[in-house]
Structure formats: structure tokens, C-alpha cells
A and B are shown apart, each in its own frame.
Chain A
């Protein structure tokens, strides 16, 4: 039995060592803030590093992934509800932030940094605040389609000349699902359903994500695609042959989807969380995100328009109530699930 005692001691020693190594976090005097973000790491990491350098507060980050359709962190926040580990949630879109608010995951906080952000992009109860937006656009391969023939509206894609010649992401996740829910809210369910059916009837090529839709245009597999402005901006920065149009400038406009930031209820350090939210909502961060590869659009009119986007005057933002968009999401996704059978 001596052998087993020795083995027991070795095991105990190993477990203690492993635990000490795993728990070796910062000292109690070191300030830190925990943030979950679904914005691409490429853009969010420099912003958070700059915050660390300026304030000396360590940012402990969990980034989301495209493989989990950038909703892995939303589910993690829901699962951690009874013992939250995050102070701040920085979402690259808005609808699922509203869902988290409704699930009781978030706490209200009105940041002084957000006074000059338009009210439409702020929750009336202060649970979330929008900043730096993306836009749903039509991506075009200019080598395949002469400028005069470019589609100017999402409805143009239901016309015979585009039959089978456009791609879109599977509209059950991400900004495409937000887009569809926004159509349900803005046009009413019946008209939105008719439009979506017309897209399917016209041979929409449904792909895995917005970046895949963009890649199809770049590769020339299809001449146009419905996607996000940041996806096209990244490809343009790499010198790919692709451009974008802000659709429906003379109609109802296109949907503008802001990043949202929110305080997590019961997080480890809400004061540090509030300080980080103040920083993220500053004009400085909007400018940095506009200058980064994704060309995110500042919500403050006073800030410079990102290079690489079509002119500001060609963008007409769809007038929508984001709370209603969030309420329509389940109905829209359920409809699309049956319609876009792959």
C-alpha cells in the first residue's frame, strides 16, 4: 500500500501545482476589466490595447468566432447569468443585445461619453448604447457588371436580369437575420415575406456567411451579393475588384446596424466596466474604427466619413425601431428557416 500512498501524494502535489499555475492571475492591486466582444478581433484588439496603455487597466477579453456565427458569447452570457464573469459586452450588432436585455443579463448605464450620439441608437432605459455602425450593402464586381447596370435597390435583385446571379448569407444568423427582421418591422410581415420569396424564386445563391458572399463576388462566381459594408471594405483594402452600393437611397433606405455596448448585471467590477464603456463610446474610438479596415461608420455627424465607402450623401438610413426589430426576429427567422431550405 506504500506505493499507493506515494502515488496519492504525487497526485495531490501535481493537482496543487496545476491549480496554482492556473489560478496565477493578477495581484489584487492590479486593476482589470473583463469584456466579451463579438466584433472581429482584428478591429477590437487594437482599441482595447490602446485602452490598456492609456489607463493601465488590464483588459481580459473573450473574442467571438465566425464558426459560432458570432453568437457564442451571447449564449455564454445567458449560460453564465447566475454567476457572470464579464463586466462589459461589446456586440457587433444590436438585436441580440436587446435579447440579452430582455433576458435580464444587462444592467442600465447611461454613459456621459454618449451625449452626442443620436437618440435612435440609444436604449431609452439605458441598457445599451450604439456606436460605429455597419450598413447592409450590395457588393458588385465591376469587371462583370458595367456601372449603368448596377442594381440600386435590394428589390432590383428580384428582377429577371439578376436571376441566379446574386449571393446572400443564410438569413438565420448575424446581420442578415437582423436585416430580415428589420424588413418585417419596416414593411410589415406580409410584404417582407413576399420580398424574401421573390429572392428565392429568382435563384438567390445562399451561402454560409456575409464574407463568403463577398468572396463569391470577388471570385466572379456571381456578379453581385447582399452583404455588409465592412466585408466589402476589407476586400477593397486588399485591392480586390469589388465595390459597394448603399441601396434604396431614393426609397426606404438601407438598414444601419450599430455596434452596441452594455454593462453586464452583477459582473465582477461594474466600475471598471463603466469606465471601459465610457472609453468605447468616445469619439476617439469611433474615429479609430472608421480608419480601420472595416470602415465602420461613425454615428456622430461631426466625425470624418471613412475612406473606401461610397459618399455620405448616398446613404439613406432606414427608419426603424430596434426594439420592434428584436421582437420580429423569431418570426422572421422561423419564416426563413422554412423558406431557405438548403
Chain B
């Protein structure tokens, strides 16, 4: 116990800092909303019939997207965790790469293919299409979380199930119920991310609540009214956070008995079927827009020109996103240890961080962040590119904490017990024993952060330091100018640049782990 005390203090300080930074802009919005209500002297209703309808539609789209992401992503996750596919590292890297492509880019791909078919145009301009695109875009997030959770389920239960009832019933009766908690948590996270989406709905011309908020900011320049319009989303986020705070201790942190054997698979003979299902899911959800985008890929000369002129923007984006990932992981590391120790307060804080900032549209969050930092005298000019990295880490830190906590919980209990005996001091234990084991999932968490932050156009345009060009802003300008090929070349090159070092480190971590075991 003497060793865990300082770790717990560090976890609380780190989470406290992230809570202040992450929830500060929301408090600012609440204060602004209060001002708007006071100025209207109660005459202006919070939600009229139209905005209430839009809010309902946004909630329905987010629920649909979360359902799609969970249905498809959990299947992919189970296959990744249980079917002995060759090249699973590559598939995982591919999923991370898919996450690096913004939902906006996927929507562009779907739109690109519809020009010759009017019926598909009608279908695409519908809430169902928005839900499908958002769900497919967030599918990798669910798949990666599910795969991690599947690793920590007790092998003995599944082995017994396989012997007694066969693979199908084992899957339905043992594996899926064991993963339901993780799926619910992942679904809530996807729900929150989709609730705040502006780009896909706007591109497909489907009016949603975030578009209404954006209109108040950008159309008529009424920030106080926009802040007031954010309050229902904050309330939804709060309700979700409370639900999650109650759900997490019963589900993803549930401790299973030590498992005697871990090297086994649900269906040794079903490699082909698993590969087929995985390929079908990915082809149906992600392949059509990607094929359209590849068809629009520019010539080598255009690509070279795009890369030459966009190299600074790419490097700057990777720097900011990597710094954001480092900052968030610095908090997520101790926080995940506290989650593994099932500290209720930490879980509640994590649930709040995980969902509340994600529920607010990026433009509202970014504007509140800038207003807050200007009003409090935060030296944004002196912070330079750390400014946007801080803002992104504050908004996206929650998902990183969750991912790393899930990975820590997936470590074999026997290994942790042995480590405890071998090394009494918790920090050394963490650095020399847990770190090599968690290197791959930590990189996965970094990858998720990198992906989410690389695409944060709405936040970056508000926080980027002057003279510091960034990739999504440049890509958006190229798209607007009518050079989608160059924008795609830049986006793909950046995704590859982000994944390449991660793959190398995953390989190195595997080597370290095989030696230590």
C-alpha cells in the first residue's frame, strides 16, 4: 500500500488538471448561457418547436451511428481477438489508419460516387446516410476497444463452453455477454462524438442541432445565444456521464478469476470465415468511399507538388497532434492505473471527461476555449503550438484514458501479481514491467488521439498560432479551390506518416514483450 499512495496522488492531480482544462470551456458556456437567459428576461424559450425537432433528430442520428459502429465494430473486435488471422498487426494498423480519415472525407467519397445516380443522391441526403457514414467512421474505435476487452475475458469459461456447446453458442452465450459492457461504453463514446458532428451532416445537407448552433455563431454572430443552445447538449452529456459512471464499475472493470490458459482461439477452424466476415464488414462500410477517393488520386506530379507545398503543414500537424497525444497519455497513464484499481472517484471523473467535452460541437468548444484563455490571461502567444495541443488534449483526453485503462485491465492478473512480488516500488514496476506490456495499446491510444486531433478543423482554425500552417486547414482550402486530389494526397501521406513510427514501435514492443515473458 505504501507504494500505491503517491501513484494515486499523481493520478488525482493529473485527472484534476485535465478536468479543469477539459470542462473549463463548458463552464464558460454555461455562464454565457446564463447571461443570455438574464438578458432575455425569460422571454426567449430555450427550445422552440424547430430546435427541439432538430435536437431529437441529432439524438436519433447519434444513436443510429452508435448502433452501427457497435454492431460492426464489435464483430471486427471479436474476430481480431479470437480468430488466428495472419497479419493482425497490419489489420489493426489499417483500422487506425481508417480512423485517421475524417468522417468528412468519407462523406466526400460517398458523394463522389453518386453523381450519375439520382436515386443515390436522394438516399445520401438523409439522416440514415449521416448515421451510416458516422457509424462506419467510428467502427475502428469500437473494434479496437472490443479486441482489448476480449483479451481479458477468462479463457477457461470459453474453453468449457467450446467443449460443451460448440463455438456458436460460446460466442452468443459467453463471449458477447462478457463484452457487452465494453460495447456499451464504446457506444456511448461514439454517441457523444457523433452528437457533436457538424461536417458530415452539413456536407450531406441534413439539418441537425450542431448546424443550428453553428448558424448562431457563423451566420448571425450571436455567441451568447449559441452558448444557450449548447446547454441541452451539456445536459445530455451530463446524463450520459452519470450513466457511464454507474456502468463502468459493473462492466469493464469487473475482475475475472485468473485464467489458466490464454493462447487459444474461439474457432481454430474458422480462420476463413473470420477473415471473410471481417473483409465483408470493412468492404461494406469503408471501401466504397475509399475507392472513389483513390479514383480521384492525383498524378505523381500533382502529388509531388502537393507534398512539396504542404510539407510544413504536415510536419506542424504531426507535431501538434503528437504533443496532444503525449499530454493526454501523461494523464491517461496514472488515470488508467487508478481505473484498474477501481477507484470510484476516478471512474466518475473519467466518465465525465470522456463524454461531456465530446458532446459539444468543436466550434463552440473552441470559441469558449479562446474566450476563456483570453479572459484569464493565459499566454496563448507565448505557448505557440502548445496552445492548440493543450486544447485538443483537454477535449480528447477522456477517450485516451478509457483506451489505456481497457488495455491495463487486459494484462494477465498473474503477471501483475508476479510483478508486485518482484518489484515493490510502484513507479519502477510501472516503468519496467507494465510499460513494455502496455506499449502497443498506449501507441493505439496515441493513434486514436492522433487521428481525432488531426481532423479537428473547427478547433484548429480557432486556436492555431499565427503563421503556423496546419494540414486540415490547408487540405480544406485545396478542396474548396477544386483540387480534391491534392487534398487527398496530403491527407493520405499524413496518415501514413502517423502510422509508420507506430508500426515500428509496435514491432519493438512485441520483441520486448516476448523477451520479458
Residues of A within 8 A of B (CB): 1, 3-4, 7, 11, 18-19, 22-25, 32, 34-36, 40-42, 58-69, 71-76, 78-83, 85-86, 96, 99, 103, 170, 172-173, 177, 206-209, 211, 215, 219, 221, 234-235, 238, 268, 329-330, 333-334, 337-338, 341-342
Quick one: given A61-B466, A342-B207, are A68 and B220 in contact (CB under 8 Å)?
no
Q: Which chain B residue has the least Cβ–Cβ distance from A34?
A: B466
CA distance A36 to B464 in the complex (A): 11
Quick one: given A78-B221, A342-B207, are A72 and B462 in contact (CB under 8 Å)?
yes
Q: Which of B6, B205, B370, B476 contacts A66 (CB 8 A)?
A: B476
Sample of 27 A–B contacts (CB below 8 Å): A1-B6, A4-B10, A7-B427, A22-B384, A36-B466, A62-B464, A65-B473, A66-B477, A66-B480, A67-B457, A67-B476, A68-B218, A68-B457, A69-B218, A72-B218, A72-B363, A72-B458, A76-B370, A76-B461, A76-B462, A81-B374, A82-B374, A82-B375, A96-B221, A238-B482, A337-B219, A338-B50
Quick one: given A66-B476, A66-B479, A172-B215, are A73 and B461 in contact (CB under 8 Å)?
yes
CA distance A41 to B402 in the complex (A): 38
Residues from chain B with a CB closer than 8 A to the CB of A76 are 367, 370, 461-462
CA distance A35 to B221 in the complex (A): 21
Interface SS, B side: helix
A152 to chain B, nearest CB (A): 27
Could you tell me if B220 and A329 are in contact, using CB atoms closer than 8 angstroms? Answer: yes
CA distance A290 to B375 in the complex (A): 41
Residues from chain A with a CB closer than 8 A to the CB of B462 are 72, 75-76, 79
- Asked if B434 is at the interface (CB within 8 A of a chain A CB), the reply is no
Chain B interface category by residue count: 35 or more
1/0 per residue B242-274: CB within 8 Å of A? Answer: 000000000000000000000000000000000
CA distance A36 to B202 in the complex (A): 25
Could you tell me if A40 and B363 are in contact, using CB atoms closer than 8 angstroms? Answer: no
CA distance A154 to B50 in the complex (A): 30
CA distance A208 to B363 in the complex (A): 18
Which B residues, 432 to 461, have Cβ-Cβ distances below 8 Å to chain A? Answer: 457-458, 461
Q: Which of B50, B219, B370, B473 contacts A63 (CB 8 A)?
A: B473
Residues of B within 8 A of A (CB): 6, 10, 50, 104, 115, 125, 199, 202-203, 205-207, 214-215, 217-221, 223, 323, 330, 363, 367, 370-371, 374-375, 377, 380-386, 425, 427-428, 457-458, 461-462, 464-469, 472-474, 476-477, 479-482
Could you tell me if B466 and A85 are in contact, using CB atoms closer than 8 angstroms? Answer: yes
Quick one: given A22-B383, A82-B374, are A75 and B367 in contact (CB under 8 Å)?
yes
Could you tell me if A337 and B215 are in contact, using CB atoms closer than 8 angstroms? Answer: yes
B498 to chain A, nearest CB (A): 19
A113 to chain B, nearest CB (A): 23
CA distance A103 to B468 in the complex (A): 27
Quick one: given A61-B466, A66-B477, are A4 and B384 in contact (CB under 8 Å)?
no
CA distance A65 to B370 in the complex (A): 18
Q: Which chain B residue has the least Cβ–Cβ distance from A220?
A: B115
Residues from chain A with a CB closer than 8 A to the CB of B220 are 329-330, 333-334
Residues from chain B with a CB closer than 8 A to the CB of A65 are 457, 461, 472-473, 476-477, 480
Residues from chain B with a CB closer than 8 A to the CB of A330 are 220
Could you tell me if A206 and B427 are in contact, using CB atoms closer than 8 angstroms? Answer: no
Residues from chain B with a CB closer than 8 A to the CB of A85 are 380-381, 466
Residues from chain A with a CB closer than 8 A to the CB of B371 are 79
Residues from chain A with a CB closer than 8 A to the CB of B115 are 219, 221
CA distance A173 to B219 in the complex (A): 5
B419 to chain A, nearest CB (A): 15
Could you tell me if B466 and A86 are in contact, using CB atoms closer than 8 angstroms? Answer: yes
Residues from chain A with a CB closer than 8 A to the CB of B479 are 66
Residues from chain B with a CB closer than 8 A to the CB of A80 are 370, 374
Q: Which chain B residue has the least Cβ–Cβ distance from A235?
A: B482
CA distance A308 to B115 in the complex (A): 27
Q: Which of A59, A234, A329 contacts B467 (CB 8 A)?
A: A59
Residues from chain A with a CB closer than 8 A to the CB of B223 are 75, 78-79
